[in-house]
Amino acid sequence: MGKRILDACGAACGLLVLSPLMAAIAVAVRLTSPGPALFGQERLGRGGRAFRMYKFRSMVADADRRGARVTAGGDPRVTPLGRLLRRTKLDELPQLWHVLKGEMSLVGPRPEVPEFAELFPEQYARILDVRPGITHRATLAFRSEEAILAAVPAAGAREFYIDRVMPRKLAMYEEYLRDPLLRDVWTILETLSPWKTTRAVTAGERGLDAPEVSNVPLWDEPLVATQPCPPAAPSPARSVTVTTPADESIVEREELMALV
């Protein structure tokens, strides 16, 4: 209940205070590149329910037909204004409306597209138990994600994101799935502040800068799929003799005859 109150109050205040800025961004997007001001995409919400999530458009209007869903630094589909919006995270402001509606939370695992979530069914079965969020500790740790992907050959960016980035994000999502309310407040403040206490994962010194999460391997370690435990061997069958009252009377008669 406390988290929902924080979400509703924070989103309402944010929309009220930031509405002039959001209007200015919408006009700027329309004037600097052809296409709508907002970009919508299907994402997975709590309980696996799909919803259409909106953000300010930071790429060309037909970006989905020009390349992969993964965006790396220097992607030519990103507009000049879009680079500024993505760097400052101002493109995420429309998601305050989703928070107010109850589809998202201020703090929570980032909503993923079904295409990628289907690759990790066991993890998302647990992660989708909570509302997705605008920011998260994993979001802060991977705030340089586009730079990380830019260091990978373009042809392998999607595979690198799936094989190396997503498992570490999911591990952090699960590690902090039930953060206390005060931790959420700190995450919000850290997101808004230019000074971060969460160490960033970077393209260089990957092992040193990786977030300290117990179930996250280092960058240079291969990710090995967890093998299912072999089924336990069945216990050997044991014969059990059940003695009924009738059987007991027969035994008693046989004992009396033996005495006679």
pLDDT tens readout for residues 36-95: 999 999 999 999 999 999 999 999 988 877 766 778 778 889 999 999 999 999 999 999
Residue 201 near residue 148 (C-beta atoms within 8 A): yes
Instruction: Compare 148 and 186 and report the one with higher pLDDT.
Output: 186
**Whole-number pLDDT of residue 254:** 40
What mean pLDDT is predicted for residues 120-135?
A: 95
**Whole-number pLDDT of residue 235:** 39
Strand partners, 39: 55
Per-chain mean pLDDT for the chain: 81
**Whole-number pLDDT of residue 203:** 66
**CA pair distance 109, 184, nearest whole angstrom:** 12
**CA pair distance 200, 251, nearest whole angstrom:** 80
Task: State pLDDT tens for residues 198-241.
Answer: 888 876 544 434 444 334 444 444 444 334 444 444 434 333 33
Q: Is the pLDDT of residue 4 over 80?
A: yes
Task: State pLDDT tens for residues 131-177.
Answer: 999 999 999 999 988 888 888 887 788 888 888 889 989 999 998 88
Q: Which two tokens stand for residue 158?
A: 């999607």
Q: Which helix (H) or strand (E) holds 96?
A: helix 95-101
Q: Which helix (H) or strand (E) holds 55?
A: strand 50-56
Query: Closest Cα partner for 40 from 59, 25, 21, 67?
Result: 59
What mean pLDDT is predicted for residues 103-129?
A: 95
Place of tokens 């370690």: 221
Q: Which helix (H) or strand (E) holds 38?
A: strand 38-44
Q: Which two tokens stand for residue 195?
A: 């000074």
